[in-house]
Amino acid sequence: MYYPQGHAMTSPGVSHFHGLSAPPPGFFGTVPGYEGTVGGSGGGYLPPPIPMQPITPPQPNQELPNWNIPVLSEDEARKAFKEYVSDKCCYSSGPAEEGVITNIEAFNTYRYRLETFTESRSTEWCYEPFTGQQVDAYMQPAPGPWVISVQPPLMFEDTTKVVKVPYTSSVKDCHDCQGKGNQPCKKCSGAGNVRRECCSDCKGNGVKQCDVCKGKRQLLVYINLKVQWTNNKDDFVGEQSGGLELAKLSKVSGKELFKDAQYMVYPLMGFPDPNVNQASDRLIKEHWTKFSQAGRILQQRHTVDLIPVTRVIYKWKEACHTYFVYGNENKVSTNDYPATCCCTII
């Protein structure tokens, strides 16, 4: 296995220069082992050399807690409601201050989350002005794109690294200026003046430095390997009959009941809510189908959170109204606040 120097560097060159002419077909040539796999030459996407096969692991005995978060007290529910109303410029404080709470009911719900941390690789031709950099093409075979060792980041953190593939760097005459280092000025069409005035772009020379090679006449051409680590996440939130929109629960945290991380996690079994068990089995199968062939699965992690949801019914001016307090953050949601002046209720 080859360990390149400076493996975490960002490439100084790019393969596409906006506004500049693209290299002609065949300009880059070929590198043994990279035929048809380099972006711009019929490829770029690089599946792992040996696709993984599904593994049917034994089902362990999972001991999962089964408990509920205590219902909010009336004082806690009222405090959360007052804080919510104080942030609304067009909400009168009357209902929050004077409303009489008549009922508090808990509708705790489970959130299952599956994370699959993957690594994918792609390649592309790049070039930059040649200023004496190392040229190593054909000195020995270039290491394969999945052989090159690149230090991965911390698990479950999205990261991208770009490395120059060893033994792919060569020097070629600039395709844009044909190795001259300059080009006719476009503003004055090479005349050196515009309407009898000295051309401001080329200072009257009629030619300008080539934008591609920066006047160096030659380009260093090489292959860049792009390594991308992605944390692919999917959530399942169990239905709860309280009436709170499920979308709101994605923005709050809950009480962690279960957490497991390994190369491939096992579907949950015996969880108190059968919908969570079914979601776990379904999402693990979906992640395997979706991610095992496109790249390498490095690790999986799944968690179950219990999210507290409390429905509060209160009476104000002889009418009953409802609000919800949810998440560890005690967020509040209400669709019928009875004392607003100009804002639309959200």
Domain locations in the chain? 74-115+232-333, 119-228
CA–CA dist 212, 168 (Å, integer): 20
Report pLDDT for 85.
Answer: 94
Q: Which single residue is written with the structure tokens 């190593």? A: 136
User: Which band of pLDDT confidence, cut at 50, 70 and 90, is reported for residue 67?
Assistant: low
Q: Maximum Cα–Cα distance for the chain, whole Å?
A: 89
pLDDT at 28 over 50: yes
The tens digit of pLDDT for each residue in 217-265 reads 999 999 999 999 999 999 999 877 788 988 888 889 999 999 999 999 9
Cα atoms in the Cβ-side hemisphere of radius 13 Å centred on 160: 9
pLDDT at 34 over 80: yes
Of residues 297 and 33, more confidently modeled? 297
* Bridge partners, 235 (sequence order): 113
* Average predicted confidence (pLDDT) for the chain: 85
Report pLDDT for 231.
Answer: 97
Smallest Cα–Cα separation from 211: which of 174, 260, 243, 158? Answer: 174
- The amino acid occupying position 45 is Y
Smallest Cα–Cα separation from 163: which of 4, 1, 2? Answer: 4
Q: Which stretch of 184-193, 305-314, 332-341 has the lowest confidence by average pLDDT? A: 184-193
Does residue 264 contact residue 236 with C-beta atoms inside 8 Å?
A: no
pLDDT at 18 over 90: no
pLDDT at 97 over 90: yes
Torsions phi, psi of 247, nearest 5? -60, -30
pLDDT at 2 over 50: no
Provide mean pLDDT across the span 318-324.
95
User: Which band of pLDDT confidence, cut at 50, 70 and 90, is reported for residue 204?
Assistant: confident
Report pLDDT for 285.
Answer: 94
pLDDT at 17 over 50: no
Q: Where are the beta strands (DSSP E) in 238-346?
A: 255-262, 296-307, 309-316, 319-326, 331-333
Report pLDDT for 53.
Answer: 55
Q: Which single residue is written with the structure tokens 């776990």? A: 280
Who's near 113: CB < 8 A, 6+ residues apart?
A: 233, 234, 235, 236, 302, 303, 304, 305
Write out the two tokens for 91: 């909400």
CA–CA dist 108, 71 (Å, integer): 9
User: Which band of pLDDT confidence, cut at 50, 70 and 90, is reported for residue 342?
Assistant: low
Smallest Cα–Cα separation from 222: which of 334, 128, 325? Answer: 128
Report pLDDT for 4.
Answer: 36
- The amino acid occupying position 270 is G
pLDDT at 293 over 90: no
